A and B are shown apart, each in its own frame.
Chain A
Amino acid sequence: MDDEPIVRWYWIGDHLGYLGHLLADHALIALLPVLIGLLLAVPLGLACTRYPRLYQPLAAVFNVVYALPSLAVFVVLIPYTGLATQATVMIPLTFYALAVLLPTTVDGLRAVPEAVRQAATAMGYGPWHRLAAVELPAAVPYLLAGLRVAAVSSISLASVGALVGRGGLGYLFIDGFQRTFPTPIVAGIVLIAALALVVDLLLVGTRRLLAPWAVREKGAAR
């Protein structure tokens, strides 16, 4: 270990294709759950604003879900979903994403001022039209703020999946550790951070496109 440099550049040069393959796998494992989480969070959030009694218990459940250690959950799922399958890693990540996205969705839907809601009704909007034209757009900045947190955590968490055999770039950590060879580990950390950064920037850009007013109202959509 003493004469081993932290990064051997030629290894990275030799393994570009391999690294790209792991990166693609990582992006799929980490981001598909966030997308599914979003698709689940919007109807659940709507249900929570229609029936406010639903929200307290659901929020409590997801608070606990978020506290569950990822490695522990992966392991508990193995007998049902199999070792080294994508499902073992993606199912828990979906729930983590949902735990982040549900409160932000509800906050966003509740952020519409009552006067605006009534104005929409007075203009003849039915409930569905009002939802699509007023309430959902108002929730967009909140949703995107939640998506940023969920996506970045998911990208970082997915690497733990390597311990149960399916963790995209996380495999580089196991590989480097077992061979006392730091280069793959450094490459893995850098690629994960870069992936997180790119996704985060894309989401910030999406917010600018979909909700340009939120950028001007400083701090409204942190």
Chain B
Amino acid sequence: MNWLSWLGDFFSAPDHRSGPDSIVHRVTEHLLLSGEALLYAALLAVPLGLLIGYTGRGATAVTSLAGAARALPTLGLVTLAVLLAGVGDTAVLIPLVALAAPPLLVAAVEGVRSTDPDVRDAARGVGLTHPQVLWQVCLPSALPTLLAGFRTATVQVIATATVAAYVGLGGLGRYVIDGLATRKYAVTVGGALLVVLLAVGAQLFFSLLARYALPPGLRAQRQAR
């Protein structure tokens, strides 16, 4: 039961250095799966959220629906999707998209709604059309909220994609599930540690992004607060 020797075993095992069960390959699988789910969720939720936030119609309904979606257990959705659609990426993507879409949707709605109404009026006043106001005024001022939404969604998806291994797909969950099944705790703990590192890494990445990639005006505004 020695942590360091476990991790040493895990990282030095020949299987984990090259081939289909190698750490590099599993991490890549994990990131691709998470990235794909986030991409679909973003394509679905962000435009819809921007529109709802801009028009203000149905915003309350969206927020409460998104809260309810939190109650859906991913493991249940994954197993059900596999039984109904067969083993494949789709079966795991559906639940992961369902997990990532609500925070993105809420972030987009809240971000646009928090735009200063005076600024919106001014933008209309100088002759911008509605799409221009949304694109040039509301979207930039929604960016910090959107980024926070992306951070939540990314961390959750990376953490939950582990469950994909239970229904026979790849990613870092393979180590966790296979290690449990064969009672090799070194493998399980190693896999778990890698997922934690990825999730914490994503969190850091988004904090840095929020600090350095936002428009200078927004950054100044945040510091002033």
Decide if A153 touches B70 in the complex (CB within 8 Å).
yes
Please indicate the chain A residues that have their CB under 8 angstroms from the CB of B67 in the complex: 148-149, 152, 200
A135 CB, min distance to chain B CBs, angstroms: 24
Decide if B79 touches A72 in the complex (CB within 8 Å).
no
Decide if A72 touches B80 in the complex (CB within 8 Å).
no
Decide if B80 touches A64 in the complex (CB within 8 Å).
no
A149 CB, min distance to chain B CBs, angstroms: 8
Take A69-B199, A155-B71 as given contacts and tell me if A188 and B76 are in contact as well, using a CB distance cutoff of 8 Å: yes
A: interface residue count bin: 35 or more
Take A185-B83, A196-B71 as given contacts and tell me if A163 and B76 are in contact as well, using a CB distance cutoff of 8 Å: no
Decide if A69 touches B158 in the complex (CB within 8 Å).
yes
Take A156-B71, A192-B73 as given contacts and tell me if A177 and B189 are in contact as well, using a CB distance cutoff of 8 Å: no
Say what secondary structure dominates the interface of chain B: helix
B interface residues, how many (CB within 8 angstroms): 42
Decide if A69 touches B79 in the complex (CB within 8 Å).
no
Q: Name which residue of chain A comes closest to B158, CB basis.
A: A69
If A64-B203, A71-B195 are given as contacts, then 18 extra A-B residue pairs at C-beta distance below 8 Å, sorted by A number, are: A66-B155, A72-B196, A75-B185, A76-B189, A148-B67, A152-B70, A156-B70, A169-B73, A176-B79, A177-B167, A180-B83, A181-B83, A185-B76, A185-B80, A188-B76, A192-B76, A196-B68, A197-B68
Interfacial residues, chain B to chain A (CB-CB below 8 A): 1, 63, 67-68, 70-77, 79-80, 82-84, 155, 158-160, 162-163, 166-167, 173, 176-177, 179-180, 185, 188-189, 191-193, 195-196, 199-200, 202-203
